[in-house]
Amino acid sequence: MFTLDPGDSKLEGRSDELPVRLPEVQAVEFARLLSIFYPRDVVNGDLSTLEDWASVLRITHLYDFEEHRKLAITHVEQLAGPIDRIILAREYDIPAWLEPAYCALVIREESLTLEEGTRLGMADVILIARMRHTVRGGLFIPSQQVSYYVRDSLFSAQARSTT
């Protein structure tokens, strides 16, 4: 598109027959992005689900729309549970989500489900199980210190994975 002579009438985007193609983006994702700029519901916005906002996060991350990425991050954070926040934080470089999401999984009563474990992957399942065992086994005493323990465990796990 950018290497052709500007006088060429066959440029992408010059007509409905020759649209600008974004091969990494599905039509529904692009429609969701456009709904931020041109909402039908001006007061409440058109997007309401995690899937809606996660796709906006993906596109804004892909094309470096920083202000719109921040908006998507705010909405996704409100809608996503800890599993989704861990997955999305890694995929779209949102490190601030990791510690609170891991803490939520470490202190919650229920253990990980098979589906959650599958989505996270073996390394995360083992890390979470180890942290839960330590916190629940009394090896780690002050409950308000769980956040510090999780942060240290994540840092140690990250250091091991890079060496």
Phi, psi (deg, nearest 5) at residue 18? -125, 70
Render the burial of 112-130: b for 16+ CB within 10 Å, e for the rest: beeebbeebeeebbebbee
pLDDT digits (tens, 9 = 90+) for 51-77: 999 999 999 999 999 999 999 999 999
The CA distance from 56 to 68, in Å, is 8
- Count of CB atoms within 10 A of residue 65's CB? 16
Indicate if the alpha-carbon torsion angle 35, 41, 43, 48 is positive or negative.
negative
Indicate the pLDDT class of residue 142, thresholds 50, 70 and 90: low
Percent of residues, the chain, with pLDDT higher than 70: 88
**Taking the model in full, what pTM does it have?**
0.79
